[in-house]
C-alpha cells in the first residue's frame, strides 16, 4: 500500500506536532468540529471534565431556537451521536449513575430538537432510541431507589410528546425490580384516575378538538396508562395483566391478537393462544388487509405446530400461499411433505403462480423463487397485461432474466418505457432512455422475435406516438 494513502497508519507517521497543526487547520470555520475537538480534550482530562462539557452542550441545545433544515440535520445527528459516544465510552465505564443521569437529560432534549426540525426520515428519532438502549446497559448498575425511579419514569412517559421515552420500562426493569414495578403500577393507575389539572385542560384547549378538553385528557391518560401497565406486565411475566388492557373485541383485532397470543405461547398456554387467534382470523377473513398480516399467520402456524395439528397447518399454509403468493408459506408447506411429494406439490404451486391474476406479483414471485423459465414464459404469454408503472418489480425481473431470456427482459423494459412516455413522466426519462439502451444491447442475443416488434420497429412506433417528447429523445440520441 502506498505511503501516501490516507489511512490511520500513514497519518500516525506524521507525528503529534504535525497532526495537531492539521487538526487546528481543519477545525477552523467549523463549530461542530471545534466542539468535537474540545470534547476529546476534555475526555483526556477525565470523566468529570467530560460531564461538565456535556451538560454545557445540552444547555446550548435546549436554548437553541433556529430551524434545522435537511442540509443541517446530518450535522445535528452526527453531533448528537458524538455526545452519546462520550457518555458510552468515557462516563459509563466509570460511573453508571452519572451516565444514567446524562442519558436521561439527553432524552429530555427531544422536544426542543423535534420542534425545530423535520424528522421525516427518522434519523433524529433513531438517536433517542439509541439513548434508550444505552440506558438499558447502564441501568442494572445504578443505585437510584426503585420507587424514585418508578416516579421519574411515570413523569417522563406522561410528558413524552415525541415518544422519546418509549421502551424505557423494559430497559429499566432490572433496576426497578419487583418493588419498583409494583410501585409503578400503583402510581400509574392513580395518575390515570386523577381528574385533569387546569394545566392539562389548557394544553388540550389549544388543539381545538371537537370533544371536550376533559374527555381528551382522560382518553390520553388512559391510553398512556394502558401502555405502561402492559410494559410492566411484560417485565413481570404476567400475561393476564397484559391481556387485561384489552376488551374481548380488541382481542380479535389483527394488530393486537398476535402479540397477546405470542405471550400466551411463551407462557405455555398454547390452547388459549389458539382460541384467540381463531376468533381473530374469523373476524379478519374478509378484511382487505388480511393477506398482509404475516405476523398473525406466523403466530397461528406456531400454535398449530405446537398443538400437533399438522393437517390444519398444511391447509393454512397452502391457503396463505394461494391468497398472496407467500413464498414463506409455500416453503414451510413443502417442508411438511414426504420426499418426492414435495416436488410434485412445488410444480403444482408454480403452475398456480403462472395463472395468478396480478401479473407483476407472479413475475416477482417466480424471479425470487427462483423459477426464471416460468417468469419468462408468463412475461411473453401475458405481455399485454404488463403494467410499466411497476418499476421496481419489472427492473429487478429484467435484470434477472437478461442473460437467459433476453426477449422477456426486453418486453419488461419496453413496458416501463411506454408507461413513462404515455404518462409524460419527465422525471423518469433518464431511466426510460437507459431501459431502451438495454433493449438495444439485448437485441443481438434475441434470435427470434416471433410476433413481437423488433427493436427497430419498437423504436419507430415510439417515435410515431411520442415524437414530441423532446426531453426523452435528446437522451436517447445523445
Per residue in 130-140, pLDDT (tens digit) is 999 999 999 99
Cβ pair 125, 162 in contact under 8 A: yes
Instruction: Give the model confidence (pLDDT) of 152-194 as tens digits.
Output: 999 999 999 899 999 999 999 999 999 999 999 999 999 999 9
Q: Which residues contact 422 (CB under 8 A, 6 or more apart)?
A: 466
* Residue 333 exposure: Cα atoms within 13 Å on the Cβ side: 24
Question: What is d(CA 57, CA 38) in angstroms, rounded to the nearest whole number?
Answer: 11
Residue bearing the bigger pLDDT, 388 or 45: 388
CA distance 177 to 87: 25
Residue 102 has pLDDT above 90, yes or no: yes
Per-residue pLDDT of 265-294, as tens digits, reads 999 999 999 999 999 998 887 766 655 668
Over pLDDT 70: what percentage of the chain? 87
Average pLDDT over residues 344-362: 96
User: What 3 state SS string does the chain have?
Assistant: CCCCCCCHHHHHCCCHHHHHHHHHHHHCCCHHHHHHHHHHHHHHHCHHHHHHHHHHHHHHHHHCCCCECHHHHHHHHHHHHHHHHHHHHHHCCCCHHHHHHHHHHHHCCHHHHHCCECCCCCHHHHHHHHHHHHHHHHHHHCCCCHHHHHHHHHHHHHHCCCCCCCCHHHHHHHHHHHHHHHHHHHHHHHHHHCCCCHHHHHHHHCCCCCCCHHHHHHHHHHHHHHHHHHHHHHHHCCHHHHHCCCCCCHHHCCCCHHHHHHHHHHCCCHHHHHHHHHHHHHHHCCCCCHHHCHHHHHHHHHHHHHCCCHHHHHHHHHHHHHHHCCHHHHHHHHHCCCCCHHHHHHHHHHHHHHCCCCHHHHHHHHHHCCCHHHHHHHHHHCHHHCCCCCHHHHHHHHHHHCCCCHHHHHHHHHHHHHHHHHCCCHHHHHHHHHHHHHHHHHHHHCCCCCCCCCHHHHHHHHHHHHCCCHHHHHHHHC
Mean per-residue pLDDT, 112-125? 92
Is the per-residue pLDDT at 35 higher than 70? no
What digits encode the pLDDT tens for the residues 227-248? 999 999 999 999 999 998 888 9
**Would you say 154 and 188 are in contact if contact means Cβ atoms under 8 Å apart?**
yes
- Looking at residue 399, what is its pLDDT? 96
Which pLDDT value is given to residue 24? 67
Confidence of residue 210 (pLDDT cuts 50, 70, 90): low
Q: Is the pLDDT of residue 324 over 70?
A: yes
pLDDT > 80? residue 34:
no
**Does the structure show a pLDDT above 60 at 46?**
no
Weakest-pLDDT range from 74-83, 250-259, 273-282, 292-301: 292-301
CA distances from 260 to 118, 167, 191, 238, 371 (A): 34, 18, 25, 11, 38
Q: Answer yes or no: is pLDDT of 85 > 70.
A: yes
Predicted confidence band at 120 (pLDDT cuts at 50, 70, 90)? confident
* Average per-residue pLDDT for the chain: 89
pLDDT in the model for residue 6: 58
Taking the whole predicted model, whether its pTM rises above 0.75 is answered as no
- Structure confidence at residue 216 (pLDDT): 84
Q: How far apart are CA 103 and CA 139, in angstroms?
A: 11
Q: Given this model, what pLDDT does residue 452 score?
A: 92
Q: What is the pLDDT of residue 212?
A: 80
Amino acid at each position: 500500500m502506498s505511503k501516501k494513502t490516507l489511512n490511520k497508519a500513514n497519518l500516525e507517521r506524521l507525528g503529534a506536532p504535525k497532526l495537531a497543526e492539521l487538526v487546528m487547520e481543519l477545525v477552523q470555520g467549523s463549530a461542530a468540529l471545534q466542539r468535537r475537538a474540545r470534547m476529546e480534550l476534555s475526555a483526556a482530562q477525565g470523566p468529570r471534565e467530560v460531564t461538565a462539557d456535556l451538560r454545557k452542550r445540552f444547555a446550548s441545545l435546549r436554548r437553541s431556537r433556529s430551524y434545522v433544515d435537511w442540509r443541517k440535520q446530518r450535522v445535528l445527528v452526527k453531533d448528537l451521536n458524538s455526545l452519546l459516544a462520550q457518555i458510552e465510552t468515557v462516563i459509563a465505564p466509570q460511573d453508571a449513575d452519572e451516565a444514567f443521569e446524562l442519558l436521561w437529560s439527553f432524552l429530555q432534549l427531544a422536544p426542543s430538537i423535534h420542534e425545530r426540525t423535520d424528522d421525516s426520515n427518522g434519523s433524529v428519532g433513531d438517536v433517542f432510541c439509541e439513548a434508550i438502549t444505552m440506558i438499558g446497559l447502564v441501568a442494572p448498575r445504578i443505585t437510584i431507589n426503585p420507587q424514585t425511579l418508578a416516579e421519574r419514569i411515570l413523569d417522563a412517559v406522561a410528558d413524552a410528546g415525541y415518544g422519546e421515552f418509549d421502551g424505557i420500562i423494559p430497559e429499566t426493569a432490572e433496576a426497578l425490580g419487583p418493588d419498583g414495578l409494583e410501585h409503578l403500577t400503583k402510581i400509574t393507575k392513580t395518575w390515570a384516575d386523577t381528574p385533569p389539572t387546569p394545566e392539562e385542560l389548557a394544553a388540550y384547549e389549544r388543539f381545538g378538538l371537537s370533544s371536550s378538553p376533559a374527555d381528551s385528557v382522560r382518553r390520553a391518560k388512559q391510553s398512556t396508562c394502558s401502555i405502561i401497565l402492559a410494559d410492566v406486565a411484560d417485565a413481570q411475566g404476567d400475561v393476564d395483566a397484559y391481556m387485561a388492557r384489552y376488551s374481548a373485541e380488541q382481542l380479535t383485532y389483527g394488530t393486537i391478537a398476535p402479540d397477546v397470543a405470542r405471550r400466551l405461547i411463551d407462557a405455555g398456554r398454547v390452547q388459549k393462544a389458539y382460541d384467540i387467534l381463531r376468533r381473530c382470523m374469523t373476524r379478519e377473513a374478509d378484511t382487505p388487509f388480511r393477506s398482509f398480516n404475516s405476523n398473525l399467520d406466523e403466530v397461528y402456524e406456531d400454535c398449530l405446530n405446537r398443538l400437533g395439528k399438522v393437517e390444519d397447518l398444511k391447509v393454512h399454509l397452502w391457503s396463505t400461499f394461494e391468497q398472496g403468493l407467500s413464498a414463506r408459506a409455500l416453503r414451510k408447506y413443502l417442508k411438511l411433505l414426504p420426499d418426492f411429494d414435495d416436488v410434485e406439490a412445488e410444480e403444482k404451486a408454480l403452475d398456480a403462480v403462472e395463472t395468478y391474476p396480478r401479473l407483476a406479483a407472479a413475475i416477482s414471485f417466480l424471479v425470487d423463487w427462483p423459477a426464471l423459465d416460468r417468469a419468462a414464459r408468463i412475461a411473453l404469454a401475458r405481455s399485454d397485461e404488463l403494467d410499466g408503472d411497476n418499476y421496481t418489480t419489472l427492473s429487478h425481473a429484467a435484470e434477472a432474466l437478461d442473460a437467459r431470456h433476453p426477449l422477456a427482459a426486453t418486453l419488461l423494459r419496453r413496458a416501463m418505457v411506454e408507461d413513462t412516455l404515455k404518462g409524460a413522466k419527465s422525471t423518469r426519462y433518464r431511466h426510460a432512455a437507459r431501459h431502451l439502451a438495454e433493449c438495444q444491447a439485448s437485441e443481438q442475443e434475441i434470435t427470434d422475435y416471433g410476433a413481437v416488434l423488433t427493436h427497430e420497429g419498437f423504436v419507430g412506433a415510439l417515435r410515431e406516438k411520442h415524437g414530441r417528447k423532446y426531453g426523452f429523445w435528446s437522451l436517447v440520441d445523445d
